[in-house]
Amino acid sequence: MIDVRVLRDDPDLVRASQRARGEDPSLVDEVLAADERRRSAIQEFEQVRAEQKAHGKRVAAAPKDDKPALIAHGRTLSERVKGLETRAAEGETELTALLRRVPNVVLPDVPPGGEDDYVVRDTVGTPRDFAAEGFAPRDHLELGESLGAIDMGRGAKVGGSRFYFLTGPGARLELALLNLAMRTAIDAGFSPMVVPTLVKPEIMAGAGFLDAHAGEVYRLEADDLYLTGTSEVALAGYHADEVLDLTDGPVRYAGWSTCFRREAGSYGKDTRGIIRVHQFQKIEMFVYAPVEQAAAEHQRLLDLERSLLAAVEVPYRVIDVAAGDLGGPAARKFDCEGWVPSQGRYRELTSTSNCTTYQARRLGVRERDPEREGQNRHVATLNGTAATTRWLVAILENHQQADGSVVVPEALRADVGTDVLRPRS
């Protein structure tokens, strides 16, 4: 949730952000009008409440014969106070509901536009020329099935479409990848966390996952709990309603969790293999930082993601995501997209977002204000993918050989237990 003071002080900034996202800028005016109604109601309530208190003192000091009339007027004042208190509360509810519809204000350098308006910031590595090597690349599912690493058929039998089993070498490859990501995060100063995958509605909403993308979330109606699609949600809620000590710098966590996504609206998209599935594993980095350090932390997360992609030897590019493709909580986002030979294009493998104070404001996460003694202020939150199951797509396809084997990246060999994965005979 954005700070209503930003709307009051610089409404044109928020209108420009709305336009860059392709959202309705008139929502800003709705919020300002609701804020004015709320403030007016509070002011009137406080005035009448003060009058009521003063009147109470007059009643106490009045002669006996004057008291009945004064008491009757006091009842009238009491009714007015109750009505104005209700009106002020309703105004607060209306304002909060409208504010929750306003996505985070995008940062100045974010490209405007939609999904296809990203800006490529860097490209690393050269895709292999399989034609020059004399064979056509197989896709990850064909490779995974021949290696005994992926079983989609039994996944569908057990869980339905978009479910799968990682078997034998596939399971070892994923565990090796996730262990590498966690070790890398720990070495970079992140505290490892194994987090809940079921969260309360207020945590899901606070992290910003029940707004435009509520349809992608699994909800357990009988328990009023939500299955999370990333450990970002649980880690954002970890310090809800707390005041953090950030005098020694940002607090950094690396969460390991199973993730769940309904993939609502993706009918017919990526139905083959494990690119778009309902359940997957993920290591997510999450940072609580002073607002002044948020941009530097964002770059730090991106650098860690890039180091991990370099370790698994996959060609990739870095894109600066356009405003209309950011998602509500993010003020800026960088994606690293790995090359997928069978598709001849780059696909998202990591994403890192600077959410500024948007999530912390909803969840009540603050720190001591270094410039105002005795005061608190909201912190910035940031997140970034260290590794996820989808990486197996790029690893298998980019390291395949003509005979159907797959060379294991050196960084994963110790945990996988072999240098080469070979097709089953």
Residues serving a catalytic function are 261, 276, 348, 351, 390
User: Cα(413)–Cα(196) distance, rounded to whole angstroms?
Assistant: 30
Nearest Cα to Cα of residue 38 among 80, 101, 108, 87: 87
Q: Which residue has the tokens 């991990």?
A: 308
Least Cα distance to 367 among 207, 245, 235 occurs for: 245
What's the farthest any 2 CA atoms get from each other in the chain?
A: 109
Quote the CA–CA distance of 90 and 181 in Å, as a whole number. 47
CA atoms within 13 A on the CB side of 62: 15
Residues in CB range of 216: below 8 A, 6 or more apart: 229, 261, 262, 263, 264, 265
Q: Cα–Cα distances in Å, from 164 out to 149, 279, 400, 413?
A: 10, 9, 21, 24
Beta strands in 174-214 (DSSP E): 191-194, 198-199
**Would residue 168 be called left, alpha or beta, if left means φ above 0 and alpha means ψ between -120 and 50 degrees?**
left
Alpha carbon distance 411, 140 (integer Å): 20
152, containing H or E segment:
helix 152-159
| Residue 332 neighbours by CB distance under 10 Å | 24
C-alpha dihedral (338, 341, 343, 344), degrees to nearest 10: 90
Residue 331 CA, chain-centre distance (Å), reads 11
Q: 135-155 burial, b if ≥16 CB within 10 A, otherwise e?
A: eebbbbbbbbbbbebbbbeeb
**Beta bridge mates, 337:** 317, 348
Distances (CA, A) of 363 to 11, 197, 261: 24, 18, 23
Specify whether the CB–CB gap between 254 and 192 falls below 8 A: yes
**Segments of 1-145 assigned E as strands:** 119-124
The number of angstroms, rounded, from the C-alpha of 300 to the middle of its chain's C-alpha atoms is 17
